[in-house]
Amino acid sequence: MKKNMGTIDRLIRIFIALVIAILYFTGILSGTAATILGVLAIVFVLTSFVGICPLYMPVGLSTNKE
């Protein structure tokens, strides 16, 4: 599969995942919101490391500058 995420997109996703983790571990996030945002953070980290966002594919979006 061709990568469709650029460097800035990947860094923003990792930053958001880190913010969610910090909010969770400091006790600011809890309950259902923590679960939903935790899953979202995991998805953000995985897609950032792989460089492919499945949601970009159907609309043909790419933030990769290749």
CB contact at 8 A, 37 and 16:
no
* Cβ count within 10 A of residue 29: 17
Q: Which domain holds residue 23?
A: 7-50
Number of domains in the chain: 1
Examine the pLDDT at 50 and tell me if it is beyond 80: yes
Is 25 a member of any domain? yes
Per the structure block, which two tokens stand in for 7?
A: 């460097």
Query: What is the number of H-type helices and E-type strands within the chain?
Result: 2, 0
Is 58 a member of any domain? no
Does the pTM surpass 0.85? The reply is: yes
Q: Supply the mean pLDDT for the chain.
A: 94
Is 56 a member of any domain? no
- At residue 49 the predicted structure's pLDDT band, cuts being 50, 70 and 90, is very high
Side-chain half-sphere exposure of 18, counting CA atoms within 13 A: 7
pLDDT for the residue numbered 28: 96
